[in-house]
Copies of this chain bind each other. A is one copy, B any other.
């Protein structure tokens, strides 16, 4: 059917059909039509929404993402027909039925994911099927390679290329801000792409954005890394393994991180930037993604096996994930803490030790440091100010102010100190509640929002002493955080009243 174009600035891969036209074409809301620019010959599939008024019969509303490849102007005549069912649905079905997906089938699925030819429901089906019927290592390898192939890659002229990754789940995990400068200062190359928070209070990209630009193309990442040895950028802007972002968004409602997809997504990003030495941080703890050491070791072995299949050397560090890393949660607060350590502070210990351990592993893998001496070398680089110097170079090449100091960064002006209601040891810190509270206060969208911990698990604290401070950029968000904080109780002090149950009637 021929229809006239009316461009609509709606950020989705849809079209808006008059109901009569939809009926004629034989499609319902949510169905797919094939839309063809007859001049250029370019054709894309788009999802149908319908109206009786906004587009009259004979006219089609073309949403923004649909027009990204079509380049249609208002009034153009285009051909619209019912779209064929993507072949990848048959492969998704195969996985639902417990079958094994071949290399070619996996590539077809991931191509359709990247081109957005699968609806969010169809992609969800793939994720759920792979969650229930887990991908085996062959399928994970296929998925990894398909993710790499459907995005951009970087080829460095010399090796080794180092990379690190934390699988997440622990608040305040700002270690890349130390690890990357240390590795780069040692003379190694580390092109670190990182994520923004989806469910967290701040991804590494959100943190780095406090002091520099984080949106660069893959080519720019390569150029900058060649120059200063390292970068800390947002992976989402590079178009490296773009399938991953789409998969993660669909996993979000179910709070899952399907094992196969997780392995593939981490390793695809490392593979695509050309890394051949990779350190993986696996936080283990009740409130993280990996609950026990046993599970952590199993996951580590899988990362290592997948690395071997891809000709990458992988080492994994199982780390303590029950409580936050350091004392800060939220972009600006975390950057302040990291800068202070780079500037010479010897606190907080948990943050420094973890960062040095991971950097040390990479230094040993590369041969820069002898076995058993990597951490010392990392500490030396940090103490001598070489990591700070390198971090400033990285900030500068990413368009930030290289002279920024920790004191220049001002967190949210609205603050509330929560004091200990009773004396005793801090017996419990709930990662999830801390993240939730930081988000209610505005993190990561408001970079100054977050939580600063004054006591950590095991500390002895007296009644009335500060337990933590909530920071916010907007007073109403602070108010909401204060209210919800009472319910969330993210930190428990021994002897603290957990709840009070009133008697049914008072005599």
Residues in chain A within 8 A of chain B (CB atoms): 8-12, 16, 19, 23-24, 26, 28-30, 49-54, 64, 85, 89, 92-93, 96, 98, 119-125, 128-129, 131-133, 249-250, 253-256, 439, 445
Contact = CB atoms under 8 A, between A and B. Distances in A.
Nearest to A54: B9
Contacts of A28: 249
A254 B118 CA distance: 12
Contacts of A250: 121
A11 B123 contact: no
A440 to B, nearest CB: 10
A120 B9 contact: no
Given A10-B49, A11-B29, A128-B129, A85 B445 contact: no
Given A120-B30, A120-B120, A128-B128, A93 B256 contact: yes
B120 A119 contact: yes
Nearest to A53: B9
A29 B54 contact: no
A96 B131 contact: yes
Contacts of A445: 23-24, 26
Contact of A49 (B12, B89, B125): B12
Number of copies: 2
A172 to B, nearest CB: 20
A52 B9 contact: yes
| 10 interchain residue pairs of minimum CB distance | A121-B124, A120-B121, A9-B53, A128-B128, A121-B121, A11-B50, A132-B132, A9-B51, A125-B128, A124-B124
18 contacts: A9-B51, A9-B52, A10-B49, A11-B49, A11-B50, A12-B49, A23-B445, A24-B445, A119-B120, A119-B121, A119-B253, A120-B120, A122-B253, A124-B124, A124-B125, A125-B254, A128-B128, A132-B132
Nearest to A23: B445
Given A12-B49, A98-B132, 17 more contacts: A9-B53, A10-B49, A11-B50, A11-B51, A24-B445, A93-B255, A96-B254, A119-B120, A119-B253, A120-B121, A121-B121, A122-B124, A122-B253, A124-B124, A128-B128, A128-B129, A129-B132
B96 A54 contact: no
A12 B63 CA distance: 15
A470 B11 CA distance: 43
A36 B322 CA distance: 39
Nearest to A26: B445
Contact of A11 (B19, B120, B121): B19
A450 to B, nearest CB: 15
A66 to B, nearest CB: 13
Contacts of A121: 119-121, 123-124, 250, 253
A205 B7 CA distance: 37
A10 B47 CA distance: 13
A9 B61 CA distance: 12
A29 B12 contact: yes
Nearest to A98: B132
Contacts of A249: 28, 30
A93 to B, nearest CB: 5
A143 B26 CA distance: 31
A447 to B, nearest CB: 13
A30 B19 CA distance: 23
A348 B114 CA distance: 51
Contacts of A50: 10-11
Nearest to A127: B125
Contacts of A52: 9
Contact of A89 (B10, B11, B132, B254): B254
Nearest to A24: B445
Contacts of A85: 253
A50 to B, nearest CB: 5
Contacts of A24: 445
Best-buried of A29, A254, A256 by chain B (most CB within 10 Å)? A254
Best-buried of A85, A98, A131, A253 by chain B (most CB within 10 Å)? A253
A132 B132 CA distance: 7
A73 to B, nearest CB: 16
B89 A51 contact: no
Contacts of A133: 132
Contacts of A120: 30, 119-121
